C-alpha cells in the first residue's frame, strides 16, 4: 500500500511542479519585479536598514495597529520559512537535480524577493480584526477583498483549504519533524519516536499561547539558530576557500548541461535541476506560496510597503544566505556524489570537515524544524479560522501536534511521501495566491509608488 502511495505522490508531484507551474511562479516574480520597478534590487539597502532597526529595537510601533512589532513579524515569518528545507530540501534538490539545482534556486529567490514584497504589502493593506481582537491577515483576505466577487471568494477559499492541508499533513509539521528525527537518529542514534515526542511537547507549550507567544519565541530563536548554522557553514567554506570558483562554475555549468545526478538520469538532469531547484527554493523561502503575509500582516505598522521591504529580507536570509551556504558546503566537500539524500547528505558534508559538524547540523535541524512547526501552526490556524471561525482553533492545534509526532516516525523508503505531499500542497496553495498577486499587481505598484514619493520615508 505504501509503495503505491509513493508512486501516486511521485506522479502528483511531477504534475504539480511541471512546466506550467514553474512558468506561473517565475512569471509572477518577473511581473512584480517590473511593477515595483525592481524594488528588491533598488531598495535592498533600505530594506536591510529597516531590518537592522528592528533587530536593535529601534522600531517605532507602540501606537500602531497590529499584534507584533515589524521585526517580530519578520522573525515569525522566518521561523516558519527557515526550516529543514534549508538543510534537507537543498540536499534533496542536489540529489535529484544535480549540482545545477542551486542555480535555479538562486534565480527563483531573486524574483521571489519581489513576490514576497508584494505578499507582505498586500497582507498589511487588506488585513482586518478578528472576533477576538487579534489581526487576521493573509492571501484569503487580500484575494477576497482585493479581487472581490464570487471568483475572488472561490480563490480565497481554495487557498485556505490548501493552506490547512499543507500545515496539517506536510510542510508545517510532518516534514519538519521527519527531518529532525532523521538528523538525530543519524548523528546520535536517538529513536525516531523519542524525537517526535519531545518536539511535539515543546511545540505545544508555545502554540497554545497564540501569535504573541509565537512572535516572542521567534524573535529570540531565529537569530540564534541562523547564526549557529551560518557559523559552521562559513568555517567549511573557508577551509575549502580555494575551491570556491570551481564549485560555482560547476553549479552554473550543471544548470544548463546534462550532468547526471545521483537520484536522476543524465537525459533529464537539466529539467530536473530546474524543477527541483525552483520547487525546493519555494519550499524553503515560500515566496509565492502565500504563507508569509499571514505573519507580516500582523505587524504594527501603517505603511504596507514598509513591511513589504522587510519581507524582502526574509527571502534573502533564507535562500541567498542559508540555502546557498548549504549547497556550497555539499558541493565543496564533494559529498554530493556520495549517494546520500536529505539531512543525511548535509550531515555527511559537515562531518567531512568538522569533527562535530554533524552535531551542528542536527542541532540546527532541530531548531529550524521546531521554529517552522510553531510558525506553520499559526498559518494553518488562520486558514481554518477563515473557513470555520474561532471555534476550530483548539481542535486544530491538537490534531496538528499529533500529526507532528506521526511525521517523525515515517522514515526510510517512505520518506519521499512526506516530501511529495509537501510539494503538492505548496503548489495547491501557490496557484490561487499567484493568480491573486497577478490581478493585484497594479495595487502593489501604486502602493509602492505612493510610499517612495513620501520624502519622510527615507528618514524613518
* pLDDT tens by residue, 71-81: 888 888 888 78
Main-chain dihedrals φ then ψ at residue 135, nearest 5 degrees: -85, 135
Rounded to an integer, what distance in angstroms lies between the CA atom of residue 240 and that of residue 422?
Answer: 34
Question: Which of 143-157, 275-289, 405-419 is predicted most confidently?
Answer: 143-157
- All three cell numbers of 277, joined, read 531547484
More confident residue, 159 or 13: 159
Task: Assign 180 a pLDDT band (cuts: 50, 70, 90).
Answer: confident
Task: Assign 179 a pLDDT band (cuts: 50, 70, 90).
Answer: confident
- All three cell numbers of 305, joined, read 510597503
Who's near 320: CB < 8 A, 6+ residues apart? 106, 109
- In the predicted model, what is the mean pLDDT of residues 234-249? 93
Rounded to an integer, what distance in angstroms lies between the CA atom of residue 370 and that of residue 9?
Answer: 25
Give the CATH H-level superfamily of domain 2-451.
Amino acid/polyamine transporter I (1.20.1740.10)
Whether 267 has a pLDDT exceeding 50, the answer reads: no
Whether 265 has a pLDDT exceeding 70, the answer reads: no
- All three cell numbers of 430, joined, read 501557490
pLDDT at 77: 87
Domain residue limits, the chain = 2-451
Q: Which of 361, 341, 342, 364 is nearest to 352 (CA)?
A: 361
- In the predicted model, what is the mean pLDDT of residues 270-294? 78
pLDDT at 439: 97
pLDDT at 69: 86
Whether 34 has a pLDDT exceeding 90, the answer reads: yes
pLDDT at 283: 64
- In the predicted model, what is the mean pLDDT of residues 445-454? 91
**What percent of the chain is predicted at pLDDT more than 90?**
44
Render pLDDT for 399-441 as a digit per residue (tens, 0 to 9).
999 999 988 887 666 667 767 777 788 888 999 999 999 999 9
Whether 278 has a pLDDT exceeding 80, the answer reads: no
- In the predicted model, what is the mean pLDDT of residues 334-355? 87
Whether 264 has a pLDDT exceeding 60, the answer reads: no
As to burial, measured by CB atoms within 10 angstroms (0-12 exposed, 13-18 middle, 19+ buried), residue 133 is exposed
More confident residue, 305 or 413: 305
- In the predicted model, what is the mean pLDDT of residues 276-299? 83
- Are the beta carbons of 345 and 183 closer than 8 angstroms? no
pTM across the whole model = 0.89
Partner residues linked to 299 by β-bridges: 68
As to burial, measured by CB atoms within 10 angstroms (0-12 exposed, 13-18 middle, 19+ buried), residue 178 is buried
* Mean pLDDT taken over the chain: 86
Rounded to an integer, what distance in angstroms lies between the CA atom of residue 380 and that of residue 27?
Answer: 27
Amino acid at each position: 500500500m505504501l509503495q503505491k502511495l509513493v508512486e501516486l505522490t511521485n506522479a502528483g508531484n511531477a504534475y504539480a511542479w511541471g512546466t506550467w507551474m514553474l512558468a506561473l511562479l517565475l512569471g509572477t516574480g518577473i511581473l512584480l519585479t517590473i511593477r515595483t520597478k525592481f524594488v528588491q534590487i533598488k531598495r535592498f539597502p533600505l530594506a536591510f536598514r529597516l531590518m537592522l532597526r528592528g533587530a536593535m529595537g529601534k522600531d517605532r510601533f507602540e501606537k500602531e495597529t497590529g499584534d507584533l512589532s515589524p521585526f517580530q513579524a519578520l522573525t515569525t515569518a522566518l521561523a516558519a520559512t527557515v526550516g529543514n528545507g534549508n538543510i534537507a530540501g537543498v540536499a534533496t534538490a542536489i540529489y535529484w537535480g544535480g549540482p545545477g539545482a542551486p542555480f535555479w534556486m538562486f534565480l527563483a529567490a531573486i524574483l521571489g524577493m519581489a513576490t514576497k514584497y508584494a505578499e507582505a504589502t498586500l497582507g498589511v493593506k487588506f488585513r482586518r480584526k478578528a472576533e477576538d481582537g487579534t489581526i487576521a491577515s493573509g492571501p484569503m483576505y487580500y484575494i477576497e477583498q482585493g479581487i472581490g466577487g464570487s471568483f475572488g471568494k472561490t480563490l480565497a477559499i481554495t487557498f485556505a483549504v490548501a493552506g490547512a492541508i499543507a500545515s496539517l499533513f506536510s510542510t508545517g509539521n510532518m516534514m519538519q519533524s521527519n527531518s529532525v528525527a532523521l538528523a538525530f537518529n543519524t548523528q546520535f542514534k536517538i529513536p525516531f519516536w523519542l524525537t517526535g515526542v519531545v518536539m511535539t511537547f515543546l511545540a505545544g507549550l508555545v502554540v497554545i499561547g497564540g501569535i504573541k507567544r509565537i512572535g516572542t519565541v521567534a524573535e529570540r530563536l531565529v537569530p540564534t539558530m541562523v547564526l549557529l548554522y551560518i557559523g559552521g557553514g562559513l568555517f567549511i567554506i573557508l577551509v575549502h576557500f580555494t575551491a570556491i570558483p570551481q564549485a560555482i562554475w560547476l553549479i552554473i555549468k550543471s544548470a544548463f548541461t546534462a550532468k547526471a545526478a545521483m537520484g536522476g538520469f543524465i537525459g533529464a538532469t537539466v529539467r530536473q535541476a530546474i524543477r527541483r531547484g525552483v520547487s525546493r527554493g519555494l519550499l524553503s523561502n515560500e515566496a509565492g506560496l502565500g504563507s508569509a503575509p499571514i505573519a507580516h500582516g500582523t505587524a504594527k505598522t501603517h505603511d504596507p510597503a514598509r513591511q513589504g521591504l522587510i519581507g524582502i529580507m526574509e527571502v534573502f536570509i533564507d535562500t541567498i544566505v542559508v540555502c546557498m551556504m548549504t549547497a556550497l558546503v555539499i558541493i565543496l566537500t564533494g559529498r554530493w556524489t556520495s549517494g546520500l539524500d536529505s539531512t543525511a547528505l548535509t550531515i555527511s558534508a559537515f562531518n567531512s570537515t568538522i569533527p562535530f559538524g554533524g552535531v551542528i547540523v542536527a542541532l540546527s535541524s532541530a531548531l529550524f524544524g521546531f521554529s517552522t512547526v510553531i510558525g506553520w501552526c499559526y498559518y494553518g490556524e488562520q486558514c481554518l479560522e477563515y473557513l470555520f471561525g474561532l471555534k476550530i482553533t483548539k481542535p486544530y492545534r491538537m490534531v496538528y501536534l499529533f500529526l507532528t509526532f506521526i511525521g517523525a516516525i515515517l522514515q526510510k523508503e517512505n520518506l519521499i511521501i512526506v516530501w511529495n505531499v509537501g510539494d503538492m500542497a505548496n503548489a495547491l496553495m501557490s496557484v490561487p495566491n499567484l493568480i491573486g498577486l497577478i490581478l493585484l499587481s497594479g495595487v502593489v505598484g501604486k502602493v509602492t509608488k505612493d510610499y517612495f514619493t513620501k520624502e519622510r520615508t527615507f528618514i524613518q
